[in-house]
């Protein structure tokens, strides 16, 4: 659900969605644009909403589209929306099919795909997938494999943030390997503390600990969750910030070292560490704090040579101090709210940057990026109250009961 709000003669109203696409001026190439290679065909190594979103952008830019689908997804809409569609992961489960790198690369090579967009989830933050694309001479629409690797390693990302002068939450400099190390950290920094998966995100492998009695159980649970979700149970420990705001900054970089931000989103409303409501820009955010958040994000991106779209995430405590959490080296679900307030089509930008266009050539310079109104995105969460409100999937059925109504007319 996406709601766009804007001002009109002093009144607040709902406006029609509008977005400026980045249709490049082919007759006006900058002298630095030596790496420009047009993209004629794009594969999306994903399914569902994000695949359709990327296909739409490609169609608007005159780029041919390729879908991949599992055996169970033969009737899914993303297959119908693409110009071409190919089966992957024969005999595998749906998730395993979309994680099967050899099949995806094979389809791309056999069908003359110029570039692969990973979408979000699945392979979107896998450095080995980005490298497989490079090895196959198929462009990966995202950062370089090395940057994806660095940003996916929370410990290394934290070290890079410190090097760039970005404040971080007090925590271990490397993954811990024993419960004893967690106990020592708690003695030094006091409770509450939080365990986090060193090689993953999305709320999995995260456990808050408030006293020594909870320490061992939560350590074991966090380790097991991280191992099951990411294939690696490594954890690191941080001081837990009570009731913070969760603010993330949208960044965009090109191949020439240019990086801009497209302001921030507030994703503080969460359920089990999963974002539920996204607001852009963040309401009642101090302008000086906004400047610090955005400048730190750009500085970190430049420090690592970031290319394409990404998000830098922060916690902000009750005193207005901000702390770096992580970088998501991909397009996010909530990118649309940023598009609505800046009138920049981020997927268009991703495609053009991947072709070798510079941000200035695309008209994307920092002083030209302005906030226009506000936008809110809400996600529907499904839980089963009979199982302690555990997450659930399936068909939603609504039963409507009719009762006799007596109208009394006075």
In this structure, the answer to whether residues 333 and 319 fall within a common structural domain is yes
Does residue 224 fall inside a structural domain?
yes
What stretch of H or E contains 293? helix 287-304
DSSP code at position 36: -
d(CA 210, CA 208): 7
- Structural domain includes residue 407: no
Instruction: In whole angstroms, give the CA distance from residue 170 to residue 190.
Output: 11
Cβ of 194: how many Cβ atoms within 10 Å? Answer: 20
Distance CA 205, CA 184 (A): 20
134 and 176 share a domain? no
The answer to whether the CB of 160 falls within 8 A of the CB of 150 is: yes
Secondary structure of residue 342 in the 3-state scheme: helix
Residues 231 and 256 in one domain: no
CA angle (93 as vertex; 87, 99 as ends), nearest 5: 70
Q: How many domains does the chain have?
A: 2
Is residue 210 flagged as an active site residue?
Answer: no
**H or E stretch including 77?**
helix 77-81
* Catalytic residue (choose from 4, 330, 352, 357): 330
User: Do residue 258 and residue 234 come from a single domain?
Assistant: no
Do 120 and 54 share a domain, yes or no? yes
Three-state secondary-structure class, residue 166: coil
Q: Do 120 and 214 belong together in one domain?
A: no
Residue 363 maps to a domain = yes
Are residues 119 and 44 in contact, defined by beta-carbon separation less than 8 angstroms?
Answer: yes
Rounded CA gap, 302 and 293, in Å? 14
Tokens of 146: 């090395």
Asked whether residue 198 is domain-assigned, the answer is: yes
In a domain, 211, yes or no: yes
CA distances from 26 to 37, 178, 280, 352, 374 (A): 12, 57, 32, 11, 33
Structure tokens at 331: 């397009």
Q: What are the pLDDT tens digits along the chain (410 aa)?
A: 555 554 433 333 333 344 445 544 443 444 455 579 999 999 999 999 999 999 999 999 999 999 999 999 999 999 999 999 999 999 999 999 999 999 999 999 999 999 999 999 999 999 999 999 999 999 999 999 999 999 998 889 999 999 999 999 999 888 898 999 999 999 999 999 999 988 776 677 899 999 999 999 999 999 999 888 888 888 989 999 999 999 999 999 999 999 999 999 999 999 988 899 999 999 999 999 999 999 999 999 999 999 999 999 999 999 999 999 999 999 999 999 999 999 999 999 999 999 999 999 999 999 999 999 999 999 988 888 899 888 888 777 777 666 655 555 44
In this structure, are 299 and 205 located in the same domain? no
374 beta partners: 5
Residue with tokens 């404040």: 167
Cβ pair 276, 247 in contact under 8 A: no
Per the domain annotation, does 394 fall within a domain? no
pLDDT of 64 reads: 99
164 vs 53: CA distance, rounded Å: 34
Same domain, 247 and 369: yes
206, 239, 272 - which closes a domain: 239
Per-residue model confidence (pLDDT) at position 231 = 82
The CATH number given to whatever domain includes residue 291 is: 3.30.470.20
pTM as predicted = 0.83
Instruction: Tell me the C-alpha distance between 264 and 178, whole Å.
Output: 37
Q: Which tokens sit at 230?
A: 């990411």
106 and 253 belong to one structural domain: yes
Say which CATH number the domain at 226 has. 3.30.1490.20
350 and 292 part of one domain: yes
Residue 146, C-beta contacts closer than 8 angstroms, at least 6 positions apart:
127
Torsion over CA: 53, 55, 56, 61 (sign): positive
pLDDT value of residue 143: 98
DSSP letter at 116? E
Ramachandran area for residue 225 (φ above 0: left; ψ -120 to 50: alpha; else beta): alpha
Residue for token pair 């709210």:
337
Closest Cα partner for 126 from 156, 100, 91, 90?
100
User: What one-character-per-residue DSSP string does 101-165 give?
Assistant: HHHHHHHHHHTT--EEE--SSTTTT-HHHHHHHHHTT-EESSS-HHHHHHHHSHHHHHHHHHHTT
- Its domain, for residue 223, covers 170-239
Structure tokens at 351: 């495609």
Q: Are residues 328 and 355 in the same domain?
A: yes
């Amino acid at each position: 659900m996406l709601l766009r709000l804007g001002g009109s003669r002093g009144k607040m109203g709902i406006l029609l969605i509008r977005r400026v696409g980045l249709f490049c001026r082919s007759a006006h190439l900058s002298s630095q644009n030596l790496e420009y290679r047009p993209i004629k065909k794009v594969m999306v190594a994903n399914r569902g909403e994000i695949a359709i979103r990327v296909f739409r952008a490609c169609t608007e830019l005159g780029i041919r589209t390729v879908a991949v689908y599992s055996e169970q997804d033969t009737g899914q809409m993303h297959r119908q929306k693409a110009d071409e569609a190919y089966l992957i992961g024969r005999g595998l489960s749906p998730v395993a099919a979309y994680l099967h790198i050899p099949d995806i690369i094979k389809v791309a090579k056999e069908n003359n795909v110029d570039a692969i967009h990973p979408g979000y989830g699945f392979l979107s933050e896998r450095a080995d997938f980005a490298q497989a694309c490079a090895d196959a001479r198929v462009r990966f629409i995202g950062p370089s494999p090395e940057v994806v690797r660095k940003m996916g390693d929370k410990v290394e990302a934290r070290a890079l943030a410190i090097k760039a002068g970005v404040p971080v939450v007090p925590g271990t400099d490397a993954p811990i390997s024993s419960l004893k190390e967690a106990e020592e950290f708690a003695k030094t920094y006091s409770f509450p503390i939080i365990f986090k998966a060193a090689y993953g995100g999305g709320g999995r492998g995260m456990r808050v600990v408030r006293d020594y009695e909870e320490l061992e159980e939560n350590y074991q649970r966090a380790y097991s969750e991280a191992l099951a979700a990411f294939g690696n149970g490594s954890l690191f420990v941080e001081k837990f910030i009570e009731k913070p705001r969760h603010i993330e900054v949208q960044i965009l970089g090109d191949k020439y070292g240019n990086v801009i931000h497209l302001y921030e989103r507030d994703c503080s409303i969460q359920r089990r560490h999963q974002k539920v409501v996204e607001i852009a820009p963040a309401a009642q955010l101090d302008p000086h704090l906004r400047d610090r958040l955005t400048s730190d994000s750009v500085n970190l991106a430049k420090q690592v040579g970031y290319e394409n779209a990404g998000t830098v995430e922060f916690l902000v405590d009750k005193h207005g101090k901000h702390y770096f959490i992580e970088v998501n080296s991909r397009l996010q679900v909530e990118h649309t709210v940023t598009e609505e307030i800046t009138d920049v089509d981020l997927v268009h930008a991703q495609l053009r940057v991947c072709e070798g266009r510079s941000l200035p050539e695309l008209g994307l310079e920092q002083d030209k990026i302005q906030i226009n109104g506000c936008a809110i995105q809400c996600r529907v969460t499904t839980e089963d109250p009979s199982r302690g409100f555990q997450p659930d999937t399936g068909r939603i059925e609504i039963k409507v009961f009719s009762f006799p109504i007596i109208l009394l007319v006075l």
